[in-house]
């Protein structure tokens, strides 16, 4: 992506202190966006990312907010507008896992995952959409009045035993994204989702940090490598740019073929 594709645009990336969110923040800043690094309980790490972006000549600012809480989300948007004046791109990225066998899953494990992964996307998208509609298209900045990128997962379509809260949240993101894409398109707002497969981040460390785990994981990935946050960063940056101006209401899977049902390659 060239270094001016998102020039002068303001991007809020939730959960940007680590993993995929950090990869997206670095990539968008490198493409000229002013980025907000949202984090919860990771102030120092978030400030390090801000420093990294600033040292590379970019613009970044960290804001603490638990995105499952309405008042904290509203306060985050107010703080963002104080910094940058508006929002052009929302990356609904923050997400977590609280894994458990179904019959042992607690209500707290269920609610925590749905609260951050799904309700958090609703709260942030609603605030962003209000500003996009109020402000409209800004000539010379982007063809769209705003872009919302929802971080989904291959588990939007692949069922996942032991992770029903997580898979349910990702399945929900699909219909959330499509429904608001339909509603917001007449306002020149694009809404898309990215469905990452196994990306090397803290969320799935146990799946890649020993040779045995990694070999087992690779049997699920026909392209035979684990993804990196930079892979998703590049895709998110392109989706937010005008090069993707005709894309709305769909999920792009970036998974090395994980959704190709590799178990069927020599079976069935
Ligand atoms: C999960 C990871 C997992 C990957 C592939 C992601 O959405 O967060 O833990 O490795 O899907 O199963």
Mean pLDDT to the nearest integer, 18-31 = 98
Give me the catalytic one of 166, 223, 246, 261.
Answer: 166
Q: Determine the distance separating the centroid of ligand 1 and the alpha carbon of 99, expressed in angstroms.
A: 11
CA proximity to 179, closest of 129, 143, 137, 144 = 129
Give the per-residue pLDDT at 1: 65
pLDDT at 2: 72
Pocket test for ligand 1, best of 197, 217, 261 (most atoms within 8 A of CB): 197
Structure tokens at 122: 């609703």
166 belongs to the catalytic site: yes
Candidate from 151, 156, 168, 199 with most ligand 1 atoms within 8 A of CB, to mutate: 199
Mean of pLDDT over the chain = 97
Q: Give residue 195 CA to ligand 1 midpoint distance, Å.
A: 10
CATH 3.40.50.720 for domain 10-256 = yes
| Averaged pLDDT, 206-234 | 97
The residue contributing the CA closest to ligand 1 atom 12 is: 198
Asked whether 198 lines ligand 1 (CB < 6 A), one says: yes
pLDDT at residue 227 above 70? yes
**Over the stretch 62-96, which tens digit does the pLDDT of each residue have?**
999 999 999 999 999 999 999 999 999 999 999 99
Q: What is the pLDDT of residues 126-174, one digit of tens each?
A: 999 999 999 999 999 999 999 999 999 999 999 999 999 999 999 999 9
Give per-residue pLDDT as tens, 258-267. Answer: 999 999 999 9
CB 30 within 8 A of CB 56: yes
Confidence of residue 3 (pLDDT cuts 50, 70, 90): confident
pTM of the model: 0.98
> At residue 41, does pLDDT exceed 90?
no
First to last CA, the chain: 41
Per-domain boundaries in the chain: 10-256
Q: Of 95, 193, 197, nearest to 150 (Cα)?
A: 193
- Kindly list the distances between the CA atom of residue 27 and the CA atoms of 56, 137, 243, 245, in Å, as whole numbers in the listed order: 11, 23, 16, 18
The answer to whether 89 and 115 are in contact (CB under 8 A) is no
């Amino acid at each position: 992506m060239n270094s001016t594709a998102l020039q002068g645009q303001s991007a809020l990336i939730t959960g940007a202190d680590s993993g995929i969110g950090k990869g997206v923040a670095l990539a968008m800043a490198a493409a000229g966006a002013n980025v907000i690094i949202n984090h919860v309980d990771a102030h120092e790490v978030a400030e390090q990312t801000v420093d990294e972006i600033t040292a590379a000549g970019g613009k970044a600012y960290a804001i603490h907010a638990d995105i499952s809480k309405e008042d904290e989300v509203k306060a985050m948007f107010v703080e963002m507008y104080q910094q940058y004046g508006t929002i052009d791109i929302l990356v609904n990225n923050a997400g977590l896992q609280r894994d458990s066998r179904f019959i042992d899953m607690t209500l707290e494990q269920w609610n925590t995952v749905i609260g951050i992964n799904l309700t958090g996307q609703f709260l942030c998208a609603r605030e962003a959409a209000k500003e996009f509609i109020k402000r409209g298209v800004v000539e010379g900045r982007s063809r769209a009045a705003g872009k919302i990128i929802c971080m989904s997962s291959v588990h939007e379509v692949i069922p996942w035993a032991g992770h029903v809260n997580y898979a349910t949240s990702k399945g929900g993101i699909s219909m959330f994204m499509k429904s608001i894409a339909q509603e917001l398109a007449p306002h020149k707002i694009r809404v898309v989702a990215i469905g990452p497969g196994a990306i090397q981040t803290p969320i799935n460390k146990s799946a890649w940090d020993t040779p045995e785990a990694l070999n087992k994981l690779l049997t699920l990935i026909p392209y035979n490598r684990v993804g990196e946050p930079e892979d998703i960063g590049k895709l998110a940056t392109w989706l937010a740019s005008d090069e993707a101006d005709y894309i709305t209401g769909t999920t792009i899977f970036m998974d090395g073929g994980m959704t190709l049902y590799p178990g069927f390659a020599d079976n069935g």
